[in-house]
Structure 1
Amino acid sequence: MSLRIFLEQLKTSHLPRVLGSPSKLKIVYGNESADMDSVASAITYAYFNYVYDPTQLVIPIINIPRCDLPLRRDILFALDKISITEDLLYFNEDLNKFIQVHEAGIETVLVDHNDLPKLDGIRTVVGVIDHHADLGLYKDASPRVIRPTGSCSSLVFNYWIGLIKGWVRMKDAIPLSMAALVIDTTNLKHRVEEPDLEACAIYDKALPDFDRHQYCKDLKKRKNDIKGFTVHDLLRKDYKQFQFANSNGDEIDVGISSMVKSLQWLYEEYGSQAIFEDECAKYREEHQLTMLVVMTSRTDDAGFRRELAILPEPKFQADAQKLIAGLREQLQLQDVAADFSASSTKDSNSTYKSYDQLNVAASRKQVVPYLKAAFETL
């Protein structure tokens, strides 16, 4: 059965039969950034699970509102390649409906994260496949695969091929697994681990005429295409929210947005640094954050570069600077001496600070554990 037909049958047959029944509903749930890796991992896990055992179906949930999918142009491109349309997918509003109508309970498999967010109605985690730092939770989950890889989708694929014993019946979803791998590793040039190489060897065998290099270029082009987006769109396009605790046990909400343009580009595109800051402040307030972090990455004539900007609440400004002091050596942070934009009218009371991050190997995945540890010292 093709991936598309599988998703169609979930909509028309399985869900109507299970919702409201005495049987538990099982979902696979990616992380809230809903990037290519998270989306591909959720969809392919559900499909490979069906290939292995058609009697035990799992519903893939994309962890964003449906209206946010158009912000992810690389994902739309990859899905279109395998004839998957938005109407066949499930999003957070669908999950909320399932929680309301399905009293028998919902079991969850986590992919591309290993800590279930607080969701009323979902408490049972039965499986985890992830490549982030192991938080030590759900020790009885099966599968429980948590190890470093460039792409979580590689772990998903390798887990299921070990059970299915061959790639032939998995082939229809391999282009989606491939998309996550080439995006996350820049076609095996960066952050590559052994599971990525194992998976890619099978992808190449299954799709011998597939041009990975061109596919990576096409995906990167669409991921970096933010034409027509507002600052608010960019902040929510690749966003994760965390709750950290200080030394007193007080909880602090921190949001981290990743962007594919430099701060200078953003200031110039949206009018000034002050305008960009103002939009970030609105977003911080909208999400009731103690601090918003913006991480940028891009490649220019000087090579691959990263920046980090923070916008804490005014009452948290002093603690935020202590945090930065704790991160400065690990991330090799250098203060940005002056505003990039000549048209900036920066408020002297602004809490916004930006830094060049010379440790370019540290993406959000590495920065989050550093932040968590730094918060625990406050």
Structure 2
Amino acid sequence: MKKSRDLTSSDDHPESTQPGLGLNVFMVDWNALPTIQPHGIGIDGISDKAEDISISVVGCIDHHEDEGFISKHSIPQLETETFAEPQCIQTGVGSCTSIIVRELRNRGWWEGCNSSTIDGTAKEISHGETRDSNTQDTVYESQAAQLALAAILADTANMTAESKVSDVDREAVAFLENKINQCTSISWDRDAFYTCIMNAKSSSVDFLTVDETLGRDYKEWVDPVRPGHNVKIGICSVVKPLSWLFEKCGSENPEKSCNEAAFFKSLEAFSLARDLDVVAIMTAFSALPEDEFQRELVVTILNDEYSSKLEDFKNVAITDLGIEEGLLNQEDIKDLGKIAGNSRIWRQCDVTKSRKQVAPLMRKIFTGGN
């Protein structure tokens, strides 16, 4: 088997006397490894904690904006006919899982009845083979299909987010629902299943600390601003409203005068530990009594060099994200310290825009369009 190109080398660790360790990485739902100093390109928590980790990217399936990392480093094919790593970065697809399902089917690794989609409903087409609907294999396959479907439905709001749903998503859902319906011991109800998923997602942070909540679904980018100088941007996605996060911060920091002050203390500690210049929190939740899906957005400047960019971001985001005054305005938080004074809190009215859209917008503004 031919090893794919190493993206780090033992030259990055001249003091080490231990033999190098090769680590093959298959990237799913992202397409660029971060730069970790002083180790070069790597994976946080792995290549920066152990000596002489040599990382090789052997495949990538993603639906985010192509950052050019894969094409720059290229992925040589392995010397085997049984496996050819996919290099698939396809934007405009609601869920990365939909692409994975397609790739598995194209390679013959997940066979089954063909399916078509009519008005969003999966219709089974005869495949010329009868199967016992409750064999162990069928039950396991149905469970695997439900697991895959959970991710797709969560990403596409139960296939109702028209701006996100693509034909790739529709075909994957049709295929997976056919797999589920082959098992007659399962009473399938997609809407009820989706409700269970969202309830589980919402309660998944209940017993985490504030730091764990912010870091649970966190991504960061290091982008060049000018020669020899980068900006580091982090975005936290949280499945609860800011009001909930304020209360959690207050319970962990009872010495603070109010929950809001505790929140900015926690956010500052989280950001400084990651050496961030800019940090954002995106909340996404359903609010009673009508279960209306809502989003909020917090943007905080940690490095004064980028303070002027905050107003630039606001002006663009008013149109692109539909932001408006949120839970707290600037007057509410200006006396809570420097971090609060360098923060803005908005309600994001265009709830179709997730981190996939917000991150590129922030990166463009804070790098000056570089």
Matched, 1:145 2:91: no
Q: Select between 204-213 and 317-326 the one with higher mean Cα deviation.
A: 317-326
After superposition, residues 144-223 of structure 1 pair within 5 angstroms as 144-147=87-90, 148-164=92-108, 166-168=110-112, 171=141, 173-190=144-161, 191-208=164-181, 209=186, 210-223=188-201
Deviation (angstroms), 1:269: 4.5
**Partner residue in 2 for 1:347:** 336
Name 2:220's counterpart in structure 1: 241
Residues 247-258 of structure 1 mapped to structure 2, 5 A cutoff: 247-248=226-227, 250-258=229-237
Question: Partner of 1:335 in structure 2?
Answer: 325
1:1-378 pair list within 5 angstroms: 103=20, 105-117=22-34, 118-119=41-42, 120=47, 121-139=53-71, 140-141=74-75, 142-147=85-90, 148-164=92-108, 166-168=110-112, 171=141, 173-190=144-161, 191-208=164-181, 209=186, 210-225=188-203, 226-248=205-227, 250-271=229-250, 272-300=259-287, 301=290, 303-313=292-302, 315=304, 316-336=306-326, 338=328, 346-349=335-338, 350=340, 351-377=342-368
Q: Which amino acid aligns with 2:218?
A: Y
Going from structure 1 to structure 2, the CA distance change for 1:165 and 1:239 (only over 3 Å counts) comes to closer
Give the superposition deviation at 1:221: 0.9
SS of the aligned residue for 1:377 comes to coil
CA–CA distance in structure 1, aligned partners of residues 19 and 217 of structure 2: 30
Determine helix, strand or coil for the equivalent of 2:232: strand
Offset of 1:24 from its aligned partner? 5.4
Find the residue that maps to 1:207 and give its secondary structure: helix
* Alpha-carbon shift at residue 298 of structure 1 (Å): 1.9
Shift of 1:345: 9.1
Distance 1:102 1:203 in 2: 45
Q: d(CA) in 2 for partners of 1:376 and 1:339?
A: 26
Deviations 1:67-111 (A, max 9, x none): xxxxxxxxxxxxxxxxxxxxxxxxxxxxxxxxx988463332211
CA distance in 2 between partners of 1:204 and 1:302 (Å): 26
Counterpart secondary structure, 1:138: helix
Identity, in percent, stands at: 26
Cα offset, 1:247, TM superposition: 4.6
Provide closer, same or farther for how the CA distance between residues 260 and 175 of structure 1 changes in structure 2, counting only shifts above 3 A.
same
| Cα distance, 1:181–1:345 mapped onto 2, change above 3 Å | same
Query: SS of the residue aligned with 2:107?
Result: helix
**One-letter amino acid of the structure 1 residue matched with residue 106 of structure 2:** G
- In structure 2, the gaps of 5 or more residues are 6-16, 35-40, 48-52, 76-84, 113-136, 251-258
Q: CA deviation at 1:249?
A: 5.7
Amino acid across the alignment from 1:259? V
In the TM superposition, what whole-angstrom CA distance separates every residue of 1:238-275 from its partner, at most 9, and x where no partner exists?
A: 11111122255621111111112222332245432111
Distance 1:290 1:115 in 2: 20
The 8 Å contact of residues 233 and 363 in structure 2, kept in 1 or not, is answered as no
CA drift at 1:348: 4.8
**What's the offset of the Cα at 1:163?**
1.2
TM-score by length of 1: 0.66
More relative contact order, 1 or 2 (CA 8 Å, 6+ apart) = 1
CA contact (8 A) 2:4 2:57 kept: no
The residue type paired with residue 278 of structure 2 is M
Paired with 1:185 and 1:337, the residues of 2 have a C-alpha distance of 26
Q: When the two structures are superposed, what TM-score results if normalisation uses the length of structure 2?
A: 0.67
Q: Is the 8 A contact 2:59 2:87 kept in 1?
A: yes
User: What stretches of structure 1 of length at least 5 have no aligned partner?
Assistant: 1-21, 27-99
